[in-house]
Amino acid sequence: MATAKPVLCVGCTVIDFVTINESFPKEDTDRRCRDGFWQRGGNASNVSTVLRLLGADVEFFGMLSQSDGFRVLLQDLERRGIDVQHCPTTDKDPPFSSVIIVQGTGSRTIVHCNKNYPYVTWEDFSKIDLNRYGWVHFEARNANETIKMIRSVQEHNRTHNEHITISLDFETLYEQNLPMCALCDYVVFSKELANQQGWRTAQETCKELARRLESKSPCIICPWGSTGAACLDAASNGCSMVAAYSPDRIVDTLGAGDSFMAGFIYATSVMQNNLKDAVSFANRVAGHKITDYGYDHIAELQKYDKLRTG
Which positions touch ligand FRU (CB under 6 A)?
Answer: 14, 16, 41-43, 46, 97, 110, 112, 254-255, 257-258
Rounded least distance, CB 17 to ligand FRU, Å: 9
CB of 168 to ligand FRU, least distance (A): 15
Closer to ligand FRU by CB, 195 or 272: give it: 195
Alpha-carbon distance of 42 to 300, in angstroms, equals 22
The smaller minimum CB distance to ligand FRU, of residues 107 and 273, is found at: 107
Q: Based on CB atoms, which residue is closest to ligand FRU, 46 or 167?
A: 46
The answer to whether 134 touches 269, Cβ cutoff 8 Å, is yes
Q: Given the complex with ligand FRU, which of 74 and 213 has the nearer CB atom?
A: 74
- CB nearer ligand FRU, residue 18 or residue 164: 18
Long-range CB contact pairs, 171-177, < 8 A, 24+: 171/43, 171/139, 171/140, 171/257, 172/140, 172/141, 173/140, 173/141, 173/143, 176/143, 177/140, 177/141, 177/143
For ligand FRU, which residue has the nearest CB? 41
Which CB atom, from 191 or from 207, has the smaller least distance to ligand FRU?
A: 191
> Which residue in 182, 178, 218, 215 sits closest to 196, CA to CA?
178
What's the min distance (Å) between Cβ of 85 and ligand FRU? 22
Q: How far is the CB of 256 from ligand FRU (least distance, A)?
A: 8
The least CB distance from residue 184 to ligand FRU, in Å, is: 19
Report, in angstroms and rounded to the nearest whole number, the Rg of the chain calculated over CA atoms: 19
CA distance 43 to 172: 12
Contact between 272 and 134 (Cβ < 8 Å): no
Least distance in angstroms from the C-beta of 183 to ligand FRU: 23
Least separation in angstroms between residue 306's CB and ligand FRU is 28
CB of 124 to ligand FRU, least distance (A): 21
Decide whether 188 or 254 has the Cβ nearer to ligand FRU. 254
**Closest CB to ligand FRU among residues 241, 290:** 290
